[in-house]
Amino acid sequence: MPTDAPSSLPPVLRPDAPPLHTLDELAARFAVEVRGDTTGTALSGLTLATADLRPGDVFVALRGVNKHGAEFAAAAAEKGAVAVVTDREGAEAAEASGLPVIIVEDPRGLLGELSAWVYRTGRDDDLPLLFGTTGTNGKTSVSHILEGILGQLGAVTGLSSTAERHIAGQIIVSRLTTPEAYEMHALLALMRERGVEAVAVEVSAQALSRHRVDGIVFDVAAFTNLTHDHLDDYADMREYFEAKLPLFRADRARRAVISLDSAPGVEVVERCEVPCTTVGTPDIAADPAVAARADWIVEIVEERQSGTEFRLTGPAGRSLQTTVPVIGRHMAANAGLAIVMMLEGGYDWETITAALERDGGIRAHLPGRTQLVSGERGPAVYVDFGHSPDAFEKTLAAVRRVTQGRVLMLFGADGDRDATKRHDMGRTAVLGSDILVVTDHHPRFEDPDSIRATLIEGARLARPDAEIHEYSPPERAIVEAVKLVGEGDAILWAGPGHQDYRDIRGQRTPYSARELARRALRDAGWPVPDPSWPVPYSD
């Protein structure tokens, strides 16, 4: 819905001094018809949501699922909107507000181009270097690793990920994986205003399908992998794959870096419209032989609880060995991809190598990505954001390789999201663990008992003799999970990651899996670290 941005969500970020335009200019460039007087009226921004509207904004009214945004034009006028941009269907309702109405053929499809014009963030405008990453898993990790290494080089950075937005050191919790187009362009304008040199952006398939990155041209676009997910939004895996491909068109990117670790990577290379470079990690690839033919190769050197050491080798005999501060071979693959993206973006190999050697590895905080929240004694407890079968498989394997004792898996599944993957989630979780604890995640408007039953069914089909427990709510589940393990064992709590809420019947209930895990450990008599160390951002 156009007005569904509740006040509890983080604010839309905008430049302090937006470019100056007039309604006459907007109408001349985009309108098929204008109703009302636009003469001499200045505009300062635009929005889809009256909750975000500021005086001087243009209100863009779209057709929603149940209502047309034009029905909220009067509310927009009361808050200081200077005009309404809408389609012919919404024109009459918009006119009733008394505001000028600028009619366009497809306001949703035009929103990116319109936003780029308003904020001067299009192809030919002066912008920071833009890195965009898509794929099922790894988008957030690659983005945060990119930002971390850029910071080690002394760059002023920006970031837009599932977890957070960063603008020259300022941190704001994210609304969506990729913001709406008007938010994204405003964010880029703000970053430019604050002297940001390079920006890492997580680009979801939904963002591409729903026009959220329209009007943006990435200097480097990257593909991580494609695995089972989001079939609530797409009819099948082919449609989901096709939704990712537009990022690699010439109108959206200048160069590309593509991982060959999942089978679809080969087709992405074949259909890529811009110069592309490939990266492979034979240790984890679906087809090691294909991955080994990549331009750049990631080799795993050593896995430790504190991180993963790897070697990256490529053309002209270039090679570096460094560490990413997270467990998992897939995290080394993400780090290798990020480094190659920087090279393709114009950063110097020797400068990158020198910075990583000086700092003893990559310095990056990956919120909610296999985050160790336990202390030096007792069971190791990791909180992770992974919520797909592939993510479960890779992260459980990583935890297993650094754990002497048993591995307990604790997880739940999203309600009102892709239900077709729930059996696979249960199967992967039980096959990769010694003990399985099923609980709740975001039930939304679904029955949580039914969600848990499906997960357990998938697990039982895979391992009928497995040790499986069911606890609700998750506040109890983590307490019971800690009772089931001891010194040398590990708990992987997958799903909540960095998030600070649970979605229960449309309400965001405050909730931190990290703090709940620490509390459960503390109550069981195990020491826990100060939550501010070693993570540079507070919980």
Q: Please report the pLDDT score of residue 410 as a whole number.
A: 98
> What residue ranges in 266-362 does DSSP mark as E strands?
276-280, 296-304, 307-313, 319-324
pLDDT in tens, 97-156: 999 999 999 999 999 999 999 999 999 999 999 999 999 999 999 999 999 999 999 999
The rounded distance, in Å, linking the Cα atoms of 512 and 498 is 8
Residue 24: strand pairing partners: none
Q: What would the mean pLDDT of 321-348 be, rounded to a whole number? A: 97
The kind and range of the H/E element at 259 are strand 253-259
Q: What would the mean pLDDT of 205-233 be, rounded to a whole number? A: 89
Structure tokens at 443: 């039930």
CB hemisphere CA count around 129 (13 angstroms): 18
Q: How much of the chain, in percent, has pLDDT values that exceed 70? A: 95
The rounded distance, in Å, linking the Cα atoms of 9 and 404 is 42
DSSP, residue by residue, 171-210: EEE-SSSS--HHHHHHHHHHHHHTT--EEEEE--HHHHHT
pLDDT in tens, 135-146: 999 999 999 999
78 burial type by CB count under 10 A (0-12 exposed, 13-18 middle, 19+ buried): exposed
Q: What would the mean pLDDT of 429-455 be, rounded to a whole number? A: 96
Q: Please report the pLDDT score of residue 524 as a whole number.
A: 97
> Predicted confidence band at 234 (pLDDT cuts at 50, 70, 90)?
confident
Output the pTM of the full model. 0.84
> Within its chain, how far is the Cα of 366 from the centroid?
11
Q: With 80 as the cut, is the pLDDT of residue 175 above it?
A: no
Structural domains in the chain, sorted by start: 21-107 (3.40.1390.10), 129-359 (3.40.1190.10), 371-523 (3.90.190.20)
Q: With 70 as the cut, is the pLDDT of residue 537 above it?
A: no
Q: What would the mean pLDDT of 228-239 be, rounded to a whole number? A: 78
Structure tokens at 92: 């009459």
Q: What would the mean pLDDT of 444-471 be, rounded to a whole number? A: 97
Structure tokens at 305: 């609880």
Q: Please report the pLDDT score of residue 50 as a whole number.
A: 93
Q: Please report the pLDDT score of residue 227 as a whole number.
A: 84
pLDDT in tens, 153-163: 999 999 998 77
Q: Please report the pLDDT score of residue 465 as a whole number.
A: 97
Task: Report which residue type is found at 351.
Answer: T
The rounded distance, in Å, linking the Cα atoms of 180 and 159 is 15
Q: Please report the pLDDT score of residue 336 as a whole number.
A: 98
pLDDT in tens, 462-498: 999 999 999 999 999 999 999 999 999 999 999 888 7
DSSP, residue by residue, 93-153: HHHTTTS-EEE-S-HHHHHHHHHHHHHT-STTS---EEEEEESSSSHHHHHHHHHHHHHHT
Q: What would the mean pLDDT of 411-439 be, rounded to a whole number? A: 95
Number of H helices, E strands in the chain: 17, 26
Q: What would the mean pLDDT of 356-379 be, rounded to a whole number? A: 92
Largest CA distance in the chain: 75
